[in-house]
Amino acid sequence: MKLQSLADLFQHELQDIYDAEYRIARALEKSAKHITDPKLKKAAEAHLEETETQIERLEQIFESTGITRKRKVCKGIQGILEEAEEVLASDSTPEALDAAMIAGMQRVEHYEIAAYGCAISYAKMLGEKDAEKLLKKTRDEEEKTDKKLTKLAEQGINEKALISDDQHMQVAM
């Protein structure tokens, strides 16, 4: 990898997040099928749609900046998604699984918020105004999704997992 300037770094960030978004879309599609809570399922499906738009935005940016449209394996997201896969494969109650899906999705959102935040700064420095605008749109969606997930967790889903815990203990006793 050639990394000798801010322009190189901008390219690296864009190609990395481009790969990440594809992986995230696939994971959201799969997770949505395993989620029980209807509100959470809806949130995952809505964010899947947003993610597809975010991929298109990145393609617009590749177009307008002349940066090669390419997926560079995003190991960070790969790892986060592997952890979520482990959760899906585990012996879990539907309630605990929903709560765990939120934890996984929020890890993803925070990664994205960091990546887009940096890319926005680089776009600004490089005078890439259109790119900056598009990246901000996506960053705002990621932030909104993160907040929505916190709300869903704290206004019911975590509590349901707690209750399912108690029921499990009663059965065990």
- What's the closest the beta carbon of residue 81 comes to Fe ion, in angstroms? 12
Q: Interior CA angle at 131 toward 127 and 134, to 5°? A: 140
Nearest residue (CB) to Fe ion, 11 versus 51: 51
d(CA 106, CA 51): 14
3-state secondary structure of 71: coil
Q: Which two tokens stand for residue 87?
A: 């959760």
Q: How many residues sit close enough to Fe ion to count as binding (CB under 5 A)?
A: 4
- What's the closest the beta carbon of residue 111 comes to Fe ion, in angstroms? 9
The residues, ordered by sequence, that sit 6+ positions from 104 with a Cβ below 8 Å of its Cβ are: 31, 80, 81, 83, 84, 87
Among positions 41-80, residues that touch Fe ion (CB under 5 A) are 51, 54
Q: Which stretch binds Fe ion (CB under 5 A): 8-16, 77-85, 137-145, 164-172?
A: 137-145
142 scored as a contact of Fe ion (CB under 5 A): yes
Q: In the complex, which residues of this chain contact Fe ion (CB under 5 A)?
A: 51, 54, 112, 142
